[in-house]
Structure 1
Amino acid sequence: MQSPQSRWVTPLIWRLLLRFASVAIPLLCRLRVTGDVPDAMRGGPLVLAGNHIGNYDPPAHVAACARRRIAPRMMATGGLFRAPLFGWMMRASGHIPVHRGRADVGDAVAQATEALRHGSVVFIYPEGRIGLDPAMWPERPKTGLARMALATGAPVVPVAVWGTHEVIAYHGAGAMARTAFTALFRRPVVRVHFGEPVDLSDLRIGDVGAAQRASDRIMDAITEALAPLREHELRLPRHVDHTRPLSTARVRRPARRP
């Protein structure tokens, strides 16, 4: 338990950006947010775990959190933190960089764990990338999220998203700009759902296989929260993004997958 003086306080710039996001991000889509986070968990420590299907996932998740009056610290690719102006806003807002491909990539889990110990809400994509599963179901996760949750006792809430893949293309500056521009007129429906907290109470950090079992439960919970959002597209998505490569290398077959 942290003292009140040591608890992390949401920076003013991030509070302002969240208000802006709640208005600006739905300009490219019709955002539908369902579910919520229990009041007792809302102020943190809390882990929000989302599936990752497209480049518009972070904006959609941020706007959904803003609607639910949650100010998460986002774990995001390190390149964003090096961008002019935007990188400064990311750092000033207290977000956590993940430097993929670098020797210090593991520092992100340590930073996020410390953030949870100081009462933060941390948002993470357990898959570690935009998924390439041909059916667009969650892929096999990395265990960093589970280790963070088990080490701190922070509850985990799944936050599923669907429809963001129709807003911005996966790859290519031209394709991404074109789809974003046409989204102003198409305004595809983007659904975000806050699911039920994942029960990890029987697992202990350090026990053999605990992190993997926790990871599997979390991904099953995300899959369960996702299924109703794509109830008419359970086998394959209707929208096909031809810039998105497909891979079965990390496909998983969870017990709750429809």
Structure 2
Amino acid sequence: MAKSPAPRTTRVIRFFLRPILMATTRRDWRGLENLPTGGYVLAPNHVSHLDPFFISHFMLDNGIAPRFLAKDTLVGAKGYGWILRTAEQIPVYRSTEGAAESLRAAAAAVEAGLVVTIYPEGTITRDPAAWPMTGRTGAVRVALSTGKPLVPLMQWGPQEILWPYAKKVRLLPRKTIHIRVGKPIDLSDFEGKDLTEEILHQATDRLMDALTAMMAEVRGELPSTPRIDVHTLSKPKTNYRQ
């Protein structure tokens, strides 16, 4: 597993936040041996507004600078945009035509040997039991177009602190943050083929199946309802659960 230096802004944020996360949560992190060297796409499920902090905690403690996709309008904004830029977060150009072009900065970063985190669901899960939904194709597209590994990361625990779209934070009793890193998804049967929508969706389904299986192992249960389709989502309710 290669180490990648974090930007100064990231190190400053870590200095202040890491002691808080260490004091308020327990950590159950497994699968570190599955993290490749060099550039790759890290693809986690999304269970809470807080989980980017826990993923960043995990990455930084293992010598990896966290770089997430962010809307180009956010990266270019005044104020917090400066924080995102100096922390070297990756803009996704949603205003451009074509999915491949919108992800050009992410692909360039991965090809340069960096680790880029892309949430395949693109939003926090709407599943009532917080299981992974279907995925969008961005993570798979970057991995296949660059020939770099696609690594699934399953997290479970942040939703116990802040449930999806709820407002109330529950720090006590102290929660355990479970993270499982799976082996890179085998995409060898898609290599060298045109990235059609069919292939991208097949590969994305493979990724979401892996994330669901890892979550099922941690939770000791299987989903009881069909996977929610991210393409049919309506605007989330703010008070999804209190």
What TM-score results when the alignment is normalised by the length of structure 2?
Answer: 0.78
**What is aligned with 1:155?**
149
Read off the aligned partner of 1:62 and give its amino acid letter.
S
**What is aligned with 1:143?**
137
Q: How does 1:29-178 map to 2 (within 5 A)?
A: 29-38=25-34, 41-42=36-37, 44-77=38-71, 81=75, 85-98=79-92, 102=95, 106=99, 108-171=102-165, 176=167, 178=168
Mapped to 2, the partners of 1:74 and 1:191 lie a distance apart of: 20
**What is aligned with 1:25?**
21
Q: 3-state SS of the aligned residue for 1:158?
A: strand
Q: 3-state SS of the aligned residue for 1:132?
A: coil
Shift of 1:48: 0.6
Shift of 1:105: 8.8
Q: How does 1:206-221 map to 2 (within 5 A)?
A: 206=194, 208=196, 209-221=198-210
Shift of 1:77: 4.7
Shift of 1:234: 3.6
Contact 2:131 2:223 in 1 (8 A): no
Q: 3-state SS of the aligned residue for 2:188?
A: coil
Decide whether aligned partners of structure 1 residues 14 and 104 sit closer, same or farther in structure 2, where only a CA change above 3 A counts: farther
Mapped to 1, the partners of 2:41 and 2:11 lie a distance apart of: 19
The count of residues paired between Structure 1 and Structure 2 equals: 223
**What is aligned with 1:229?**
218
Mapped to 2, the partners of 1:145 and 1:250 lie a distance apart of: 15
Mapped to 1, the partners of 2:62 and 2:209 lie a distance apart of: 23
Decide whether aligned partners of structure 1 residues 10 and 230 sit closer, same or farther in structure 2, where only a CA change above 3 A counts: same
Higher alpha-carbon deviation: 10-19 or 222-231 = 10-19
Mapped to 2, the partners of 1:25 and 1:14 lie a distance apart of: 15
Contact 2:5 2:64 in 1 (8 A): no
Shift of 1:136: 2.1
Tell me the alpha carbon deviations over residues 133-160 of structure 1, each in whole angstroms, 9 at most, x when there is no partner. 2332211111111111111111011110
Read off the aligned partner of 1:228 and give its amino acid letter.
E
What TM-score results when the alignment is normalised by the length of structure 1?
Answer: 0.74
Contact 1:133 1:250 in 2 (8 A): no
Higher alpha-carbon deviation: 102-111 or 212-221 = 102-111
Decide whether aligned partners of structure 1 residues 32 and 87 sit closer, same or farther in structure 2, where only a CA change above 3 A counts: farther
Higher alpha-carbon deviation: 117-126 or 16-25 = 16-25
Mapped to 2, the partners of 1:23 and 1:120 lie a distance apart of: 26
Contact 1:75 1:95 in 2 (8 A): yes
Shift of 1:125: 0.4
Shift of 1:230: 1.4
Shift of 1:50: 0.2
Q: Determine what percentage of the aligned residue pairs are the same residue.
A: 34
Task: Give unmatched runs, 5+ long, in structure 2.
Answer: 232-242
**What is aligned with 1:199?**
186
- Aligned Cα RMSD in Å? 2.9
